[in-house]
Amino acid sequence: MTDNANGAGDSVRQRGLAKMAEVYGTEFQDYPGDHFAMTADHLFANVWSRPGLSVRDRRLLLLGALTAQGLMDTAGIQIGAALRNGELTEEQLHEIALFLCHYVGWPNGTKLDLLVGTIVAQQKKAARAAADKSETA
């Protein structure tokens, strides 16, 4: 096994990149630096890859934690990925937001609900634009 520029084995990095692609529904390239190394080699190759919970289970937990902390920018990334991967529907995401209102506070739950609507609208607009582009090509 050869070490990459970050000192991690190529197989660990490849597992991490593969899990990142699975979680987010898009391919990731390798980046230099300790931050990316910890993200790919530890968080995704090890933590997100552990047995016992599905990606959807982990995403639900993460959405709750992010909403509780008011971290809507990161929650938005998770919402988009859940929709792209078909893990959660728009209706389920709205239900999650309503449920979380009662446990993490109405303001943060409401922000999540509004964010779900925004991201769903963005994805629908992008899908329409892609369809229009393919029709004219």
Q: Is the dihedral of CA 79, 83, 88, 89 positive or negative?
A: positive
- CB–CB of 48/58 below 8 Å? yes
- CB–CB of 123/83 below 8 Å? yes
Q: Say yes or no: 87 and 41 in one domain.
A: no
79: CATH = 1.20.1290
Q: Say yes or no: 62 and 102 in one domain.
A: yes
Six token digits for residue 67: 């909403």
pLDDT (tens digit per residue) in 16-52 = 999 999 999 999 999 999 999 999 999 999 999 999 9
Q: What is the pLDDT of residue 12?
A: 95
Q: What is the total residue count of the chain? A: 137
Which residues share a beta bridge with 3?
A: 9
3-state secondary structure (DSSP) of residue 9: strand
Instruction: List the domain range (segments joined by +) for residue 16.
Output: 11-51
Query: What are the respective helix, strand and coil percentages of the chain, to the nearest 5?
Result: 75, 0, 25
Number of domains the chain contains: 2
Can you tell me the distance from the alpha carbon of 76 to that of 82, in angstroms, rounded to the nearest whole number?
Answer: 10
Tell me the mean pLDDT in the region 1-19: 72
pLDDT (tens digit per residue) in 94-105 = 999 999 999 999
pLDDT (tens digit per residue) in 62-92 = 999 999 999 999 999 999 999 999 999 999 9
